[in-house]
Structure 1
Amino acid sequence: MNRTHLGTAAVAVSLVLTLAGCSGKTGSSADGTNAGGVKTGPGVTADAIRVGIITDLTGPAAPLGKPSLQATQLYVDQVNAAGGVCGRKLKLVVRDHGFDVQKAVAAYAEVQPQVAALGSLLGSAQTAALLDSIERDGLVTMVGGNAASSLGHQHIQVMSTTYDLDMINGVDWLVRTQGLKSGDEIGLVHQPGEYGENAAEGVRFAAKKAGLDLVVRTVKPTETDMTAQVTALGAAKVKAIVFAGTPGQTASLVGVAAATGLKVPVLAHAAAYVPQLLATPAKPALEKMLYVTGGVPALSSDLPGVKKLVKDYRAKYPKEELNVGVQVGTTNGAVLVEALKAACEAKDLSRAGITAGLRTLKRFDKGMGSVLDFSDPAKSPSRKSYVLRPAAGVPGGLKTVQDATEVPAVAEYLAARD
């Protein structure tokens, strides 16, 4: 998912979660061929497949990292209850990096020899720091950040629409529905780094195509007061604002804008929103001014897979609030399970076999939104984005404004980039 998120801390540092027992199968080694003729590799034994999770449970992204882990655990529990994969139960090996890049690197060094794949690596900066190591080790890794810089690596998998494509789709919607016209000025506020820069790249392309002039301001990940940025945008009399930052910054930006009379539509990436914002004083402004764009649907949608997920998650974690992390964790688990099943059918649970299994998934669909294509690591698995808006009292605190859409500018952008 995404670069950073503000919120409360969660527990569990360097925690190993064992989600099921043994099947009683024998004759397998950590690196060889078992009695059933299935080739194995690190993290695979006669009765278990160990999957790594390197995420944020105690840092600024914990509001997404914790529910994502819980959703993956829920999905794995269900898979294990149905017999597991290839006669083996899945076991999660979890490490908390607190959203610190160096801690993520250290956690990877510890976990990598123990696991068959990484079911989640949260953070675009963390992923960037580990790209070379992951490719060297041939370890299938589901990344929890959708920066385009993660594309083109054989063993690394972006799980949804990349940030730049989301913003192209989102800005197109903004122009079509909010009365923007050629020559208007709009604000672009973004963080530095893979997340913010990739989002900004999409905004710049879309704005140029629509004839919009950009007033650009950056914001450090640690900044919490957006008064300076809003003041500059107000002085420029922008007609809209596009934002790629953290949820806490979203609340500040929208709240300050409303309080100072800059009551314009604000389009934020999904990484910049969590439903906890509706419990802040910015709630009225958020409900009137904010729109969210991203590659996953609202948890309040009628999609069958989403409805089942909400029901199952609430039954397992009745005191937890749902957000997009729940969808990310479920999708990560489901995609990895399908890749493992494909590898099992090919009788190859080595790391190379799991990667090959992942690349067979050309039309992945669990009833949770867009059909995803994981066959080409150089391409975003989807090019469609939703537009949502805050709504109190519904799962995830968002309702649908526009269903998954790919606008023509996306193809133009990708052609120009290639």
Structure 2
Amino acid sequence: MSSRRLKRTTATATALAALLAVAGCSSKTGDSEGDKEDAGGIKTGVGVSAKTIDLGVLTDMTGVYATLGKSVTQAQQLYVKQTNADGGICGRKLKLTVRDHGYDPQKAVAAYTELEPEVLGFAQFIGSPFVAAVKQRVDTNKGLVLPQAWSSNLLGSSYVRVIGSTYDLETINAIDFLMKEKGLKKGDKLGHVYFEGDYGESALKGSQYMAKKSGLTVVEQKIKATDNDMTAQVAALKKAGVKGVVISAGPRQAASLVGVAAAGKFDVPIIGNNSAFSPQLLGTQAGPALAKNYYVASPTLPIGADTDAAKKLVADYKKAYPEDSLDNGVTAGWTAASVFGEALKRACESKDLTRAGVDKALLTIDAYDNGFGVPQNFTDPKAPSSKESVILRPDKGVTGGMKVVEKPFTATAAEGYTAGG
């Protein structure tokens, strides 16, 4: 082993050890500690004062999901600004405290450790592996976390709630689309390029399940979040003779995969999970190839959807951030903030703004639709809030760079599938 590789391996091991050490620490914060009642009979606790409700945001502004993180965060800041302008919730103004972890495990866990004792919960936490690393502590602290992460490994907690279909379900729906609309059939080989860790391996469960159900063979290509050149992966998949490809990675990896495939005349349909695209890619060299032969599975309609709610959000976001582009991160951020807001409103009606009160309120939401086409059901912590997916296609001529090619649906194989199974 080279000295450079040895140093890298040692550094990775050290980082993981530090992460696990921090993640294993117990918190001094308990939901029952310091609970009190205001003059209006509203029970309050951590993160709630007479004037404010403090929520945390753990995002990625500088790492592999920097574009997503910026859009999600600005959409949530817009929601807070508008909600506060309308009088807030339960007589209190919402406040977001934002930390950028740069998709670094140590920074992510450290940021959670810093903010958890100060906030009611988290309206955003990007990164399935990082949410998983603190999940046990979240279950102890009971501060609601709405992650921008869709790993099935996050299910089962009343306090970490996945909004929309998990990656395994989303992948089942994506492959169903390839089989019904793009010529993939029984006996074919299906390529799957995926990030090592929680996100990619959750998606892989979906492709493996669908392969058994549909008579496909999965050709796996595992990559790291730092791997940006997909030349080797395309060569391997082409040699294997795959007839379609799923990619469960970031936008950069998807652009490289599609671009390299096009350059090598490897003409097979490629579909990504919802995290594997950014409309900014349409302005790069890979843009034409993405528009021609790439699809994305999404938990909701896109930001450019033809609904009143989507049109209003587009107008409001453009006014608030005129220099920034629109993408589905705006939809994800707005949805998570509005779900948290709905839980807060119901908790207020029950006169209980403690962590336990907000968690209980979320469990009463059984058909929440904020105008993006897919009702969300939060009554069962063991299940994602939806099994539906929307299939999108890159198109620089539409708002947000994504158009709908398949409206919300659940594949037959997904209907009988237990997420994470």
Q: TM-score, normalised by structure 1?
A: 0.91
Q: How does 1:14-413 map to 2 (within 5 A)?
A: 31-413=35-417
Contact 1:265 1:289 in 2 (8 A): yes
Taking the aligned partners of 1:331 and 1:91, their CA distance within structure 2 comes to 17
Q: Cα offset for 1:347? A: 0.7
For 1:357, give the aligned amino acid: A
SS of the residue corresponding to residue 186 of structure 1 reads: strand
Taking the aligned partners of 2:415 and 2:146, their CA distance within structure 1 comes to 25
Per-residue Cα deviation, 1:64-95 (whole angstroms, up to 9, x for no partner): 11111110011111111111111111111111
Per-residue Cα deviation, 1:355-376 (whole angstroms, up to 9, x for no partner): 1111111111111120000111
Aligned residues: 389
Alpha-carbon distance change, 68 to 210 in structure 1, aligned in 2, over 3 angstroms? same
Q: Cα offset for 1:207? A: 2.1
Taking the aligned partners of 1:216 and 1:90, their CA distance within structure 2 comes to 45
For 2:312, give the aligned amino acid: K
Taking the aligned partners of 2:296 and 2:238, their CA distance within structure 1 comes to 21
Per-residue Cα deviation, 1:6-50 (whole angstroms, up to 9, x for no partner): xxxxxxxxxxxxxxxxxxxxxxx9631111111110111111111
For 1:296, give the aligned amino acid: T
Alignment-derived partner of residue 14 in structure 1 = none
Gaps of 5+ in 1: 1-28
Contact 1:55 1:98 in 2 (8 A): yes
Gaps of 5+ in 2: 1-32
Taking the aligned partners of 1:52 and 1:332, their CA distance within structure 2 comes to 12
Per-residue Cα deviation, 1:116-154 (whole angstroms, up to 9, x for no partner): 111111110110111011111110111110101111011
Contact 2:65 2:250 in 1 (8 A): no
SS of the residue corresponding to residue 413 of structure 1 reads: coil
Q: TM-score, normalised by structure 2?
A: 0.90
For 2:413, give the aligned amino acid: A
Alpha-carbon distance change, 416 to 355 in structure 1, aligned in 2, over 3 angstroms? closer
Cα RMSD of the aligned pairs, angstroms, is: 1.4
Per-residue Cα deviation, 1:261-284 (whole angstroms, up to 9, x for no partner): 111110111211000111111111
For 1:202, give the aligned amino acid: G
Taking the aligned partners of 1:185 and 1:59, their CA distance within structure 2 comes to 33
SS of the residue corresponding to residue 208 of structure 2 reads: helix
Taking the aligned partners of 1:416 and 1:146, their CA distance within structure 2 comes to 11
Taking the aligned partners of 1:135 and 1:158, their CA distance within structure 2 comes to 14
Sequence identity of aligned pairs in percent?
A: 46
Per-residue Cα deviation, 1:140-190 (whole angstroms, up to 9, x for no partner): 111110101111011111111100111111101100111222111121111
Q: Cα offset for 1:411? A: 2.2
Alignment-derived partner of residue 16 in structure 1 = none
SS of the residue corresponding to residue 401 of structure 1 reads: strand
Contact 2:63 2:102 in 1 (8 A): yes
